Amino acid sequence: MNVLAIGCHPDDIECQCAGTLAKCVARGDKVTVCHVANGNLGHEIIPSDELRVMRREEAKNAGKLAGIEVVTCDIGDLLVYGEQKEQIDKVVDVIRTAQPDFIITHDPEDYMPDHVAVSKLVFAASFAASVPQYKTSIDKVAKVTPIFYMDNFAGVNFLPTEYVDITDFVDLKMEMLECHVSQLKWMRDHDHIDFAELIKSVARFRGIQSNCQYAEAFKQCYAYPKVTTKRMLP
Task: Give mean pLDDT in consecutive 10-residue pieces for the chain, a chain of 234 residues.
Answer: 97 97 98 97 90 96 98 96 95 98 97 96 97 96 97 95 98 97 84 88 98 98 94 97
From residue 78, alpha-carbon distances to 8, 63, 105, 120, 188 in Å are: 10, 24, 17, 15, 24
pLDDT value of residue 184: 86
Q: What is the per-residue pLDDT for 51?
A: 93
Q: Where are the beta strands (DSSP E) in 21-174?
A: 30-37, 69-75, 102-105, 147-150, 162-165
Contact (CB, 8 A) for 87 and 75:
yes
Rounded to whole angstroms, the Cα distance separating 233 from 102 reads: 9
Peptide bond into 113 cis (omega under 30): no
Residue 34 β-bridge partners: 6, 71
Rg of the chain taking only CA atoms, in angstroms: 17
Question: Residue 166 has what pLDDT?
Answer: 98
pLDDT of residue 69: 98
pLDDT at 185: 81
pLDDT confidence of residue 230: 93
Among residues 160, 154, 158, 76, the alpha carbon closest in space to that of 117 is found at: 76
Which pLDDT does position 78 carry in this prediction? Answer: 94
